[in-house]
Structure 1
Amino acid sequence: MRKKFTKRVKARLPWLEHISDSPAIGEILPISHENLKLRAGKNICLICRGSKLLCKKPVCPILMKARIFSKKINLLESEYLEGSSPPAVFVGRIGYPYVRAGPLIPQKLGDTSLYDRPEAWFGMSVESILEFRLGLVRGTFPVDVRNPFKAGRLMENTLEIALSEISVDSETKFRKKPTKIFLIDDEIQPMGPLAPLKDMKIYSARSDPRMERAFEDDDLKAQEAIVELYKNGVEVSKIQRAFSIGAFGLKKQRRLVPTRWSITAIDDMLGVWLREKYVKENPFIDDYRVYLLEAYGNKWAIIMIPGPWRYESIEAWYPGTTWNPNGASIAFVGDYEEHWGRKGYASMGGCYYAARLAVLEKLNEEGKQATVLVLREIHKDSLLPLGVWLVRESVRAALKRRPMRSQDLREVLSVVSSFLGIPMKHWEEISVTLRDISRRQSLEPYLS
């Protein structure tokens, strides 16, 4: 009997939750006392050391991170930094509600907006994206999320940076030199230089008028401010940034929100608004559709089925990928919601909400409603987890393509099966959506 090559994984995978696209990810990681520490897992990395490519990836991701950081590490020999924030800020979560927050500043003056604009990254090389993230020095100061302005001028400047629509020139003094400690690990995103802030002067900040109006209106609830900004064309990443720094909401309720939480919170809030306000009121699509995309070592198949709004997202991590490094079989994780939505937090984390927002945007744009299934395969040539922004932008990119349309679901699934590496029967074993449709279609002859 042939051994089955797939396996079911428990829904709750803590190592898959909250994949963040912020350098703040670094603050939750253990720090080495060495200047540079390459940590190889208990696997072939220890044998390979990047020379044999035993993982079958085209480039060793560990050495790639080391190479990029080495370009910058020699520039950080001072307690003084002059650079232009993209603008970018972060709020930590360790010790909540007493956390560390601050601006992200590269060693470059001028227009650095690309360093923190994930909407513009899709299509760039992984190495280029890593350079953006590693090029941002994190200046931090302690703050109580409930009373942030007790932190004084540092907090005021950080807020001004968060609301700016252009890169903000700055002169920064640290209490000590930015750390050269850099943990390089294939299981996590790299973390850039870190230093406690002593003083900061900023120049050339120019508030986005839309952001400024939302900030100044302290009688406007946070969710209403977020929706209004989105309707007025403000990019999701910019809303997430301002939300994390406590720029929205009723005066007495404003709080800082850790960066990793703010990313998923905004994806969720905007998705719920689109779903309830528009999509669930729209007519059904009148055919089966599938959108296909291959990028960054990922394969995507977004299937739309005529019917009421339902949503399911499933990921399949191949052996040797970041979150299935030592597995002998493909690991699946997924979650779904019925027409009325869901109450609990999705077990697969922020990726669920990022993909859902992109799908709802597409349906709202077309004035349609559908049952949607998002299938994602992560292959070995997916070098690193780059953050949930990649999920949002990948699904957006896929949905801009011309779909394959049919009146026959079997024809659509055949196309999907020939595109993905995993046979369709294994997806059908796992997918709640496909099982329900199959059961419904098998009963139709008896109900007519």
Structure 2
Amino acid sequence: MRVKGKKFVKVVKRKIPWLEHVIDSQEAAYDLNLEENLIARVPRGSLCVYCKASKMLCGKPTCPIILKLRSYVKVGLHLTSQNMYGSSPPAVFVGRHGYPYVNVGPLIPPFQGDTSLYDAPERWLEQGLGIENVVDMRVKLVRGKARAHVKEAEEPNRLLEAVQEAALSATPVGAEVWFKRKPIASLLLDDDVQPMGPSAPMEKLRVEEVKVHRGLEKAFSDVDLKAEEALMKLYLDGVPISQLQRAFSVGVMGLKGRRRLVPTRWSITAVDSTLSRRLRDEVVKRGRELSEYRVYSLNVLDNEFLILMMPGNWSYESIEAWYPGTAWNPDQGNLAFCGDWEGYWGRATYASMGGCYYAARLAVTEALAKERRQAQVLILREARPGYLLPVGVWIVREAVREALRRKPVTFSSAEEVLQYAFSKLKIRPEAWFSVSKLLGDLKKQEKITKYLERK
């Protein structure tokens, strides 16, 4: 396999207002800022790896890769009625098209029981679920849709209020929905959001009594508590990330007059970004520097994750290498790389590789905060041919979390740690050095240069 070296730049004018009313801190704005002129620098033929169906950099109205993937997946769920009753995990979805008017609604299967696993990605790896299992489970969730202005989060109509109630539930909730027409069998695939199945516009929604997490209920009632502070408090109280993302997306936290519906794609990224930034600035950067070199690794769903921790002040880099023929690299002959990094003071723009950057950063800052240490952290991911379908950014967060729970292999020198690290990867070291800022800094050391020459 070859790595093409030529670069090109495509400029896309873009303005994303989805979070400006909900999270107002300057630090958060820097971390999630999408520049008006978004510049993506990627190898020719690999535009997809940076876009991931979110920016439509190719200029097409619909992602051709997603259309192709849809044709490979058979949705076996056939609905014959416009009325349905089932147990929502709970799960909700807020769309982004047409903003500030967006589609919002619950995800409900046409059966009852304990469906909590259906929207709990924190549990999917420990359950040993494969791609087929995740997709099979998620396509059973029927998505109801109702149009709403994002400001309606504060004064919702009955339908939106029912969606918010479902989102606050800590356990599966019985829900009955009346559709305007029969749900259309389909499959929604996205690199940030978990897969979803059939959908249809809603006429009416009835939600049974919900069991609300006490902390979420307090955050909902406290109109003087900023959304960022609510997120951090609930996180420290042990509320799962997926539940925080649900609540954040339906606008049930934040200051009075500033609560908004937030598209699910952006609620996921905002929660990961906010929590990891707070952990980084308030705990990690106050800790002692790591005194050794560490390597953590994990292979999940044919994704090889390698996490290197090295002595030094906080810095962080995440790089993905997508093999030919994988979900976001349709090129049949070349690897596609994407990555971003930050130094001690963090970022001033949104990471071009998208939500994966912030999901992995959360996992890393969690682990370092627990030790009260800081380090230079490099994450290398090889997305290999077996990873055919995008199943959501959760896979990065949970894979890195799981890898960091395991005992690392430790070394006393950079040369030793790199020799071991590259023995775990299939892509040659020179390719990683050519795209990595942190590895480029290490290369300036004499021993590392000699090591590369030997290789």
Q: Is TM > 0.5 for Structure 1 vs Structure 2?
A: yes
Q: Distance in 2 between matches of 1:20 and 1:361?
A: 29
| Matching residue's letter, 1:247 | V
Q: Which residue matches 2:430?
A: 425
Offset of residue 327 of structure 1: 3.7
Q: Does 1:359 align with 2:364?
A: yes
Residue aligning to 2:101: 98
Deviations 1:317-365 (A, max 9, x none): 1111111112411111111001000010001000000001101101011
Matches within 5 A, 1:116-265: 116-122=119-125, 123-148=128-153, 151-181=156-186, 191-265=196-270
Structure-1 separation of matches of 2:227 and 2:334: 44
Residue 438 of structure 1: how far off its partner (Å): 2.6
SS of the residue aligned with 2:86? Answer: strand
Taking a change above 3 Å as real, the CA distance of residues 247 and 18 of structure 1, as seen in their structure-2 partners, is farther
CA RMSD of aligned residues (A): 2.7
> Are residues 249 and 17 of structure 1, via their aligned partners in 2, closer, same or farther at CA, if it must alter by over 3 Å?
farther
Change (3 A) 1:253 1:285: same
**In the aligned structure 2, how far is the partner of 1:166 from the partner of 1:183?**
24
Aligned counterparts of 1:253 and 1:169: Cα–Cα separation in 2: 30
Give the secondary-structure state (helix, strand or coil) at the position aligned to 1:377: strand
User: SS of the counterpart of 2:242?
Assistant: helix
CA drift at 1:132 = 2.1
Q: Could you say which residue in structure 2 is the equivalent of 1:109?
A: 112
**1:385 CA displacement:** 1.2
Q: Classify the secondary structure of the residue corresponding to 2:252.
A: coil
SS in 1 for 2:177: strand
Q: Distance in 1 between matches of 2:92 and 2:51?
A: 18
| Fraction of identical pairs, as percent | 47
Contact 2:295 2:408 in 1 (8 A): yes
User: Does the 8 Å CA contact 1:7/1:331 hold for their aligned counterparts?
Assistant: no
* Aligned equivalents of 1:185, 1:163: Cα separation in 2: 24
> 76-85 or 417-426, which moves further after superposition?
417-426
Aligned to 1:288: 293
Distance 1:184 1:409 in 2: 40
Using structure 2 for the length normalisation, give the TM-score. 0.83
TM-score (norm 1): 0.84
Checking the alignment, whether the CA contact within 8 Å between 2:189 and 2:390 is kept in structure 1 is no
The answer on whether the counterparts of 2:142 and 2:196 sit within 8 Å (CA) in structure 1 is: no
Change (3 A) 1:353 1:377: same
Q: Deviations over 1:183-240 (max 9, x none)?
A: 7999x98651111111121113111111001110110000000000001001111101
On the 8 A contact 2:306/2:381 being kept in 1, the answer is: yes
Unaligned runs of 5+ in 2: 9-39, 55-59, 449-455
1:300 maps to what in 2?
305
Offset, 1:12 = 4.7
Partner Cα distance (1:400, 1:418) in 2? 21
Aligned length: 403
Task: Quote the Cα distance in structure 2 between the aligned partners of 1:411 and 1:198.
Answer: 63
Residue 112 of structure 1 and its aligned partner are, at CA, apart by 0.7
Any idea what the Cα deviations from partners look like across 1:285-342, whole Å, max 9, x if unmatched?
1100011111111111100000000000111111111111124111111110010000
Aligned ranges 1:298-447 → 2 under 5 Å: 298-439=303-444
1:270 corresponding residue in structure 2: 275
* TM-aligned CA deviation for residue 17 of structure 1: 5.6
Which stretch has the larger CA shift, 11-20 or 86-95?
A: 11-20
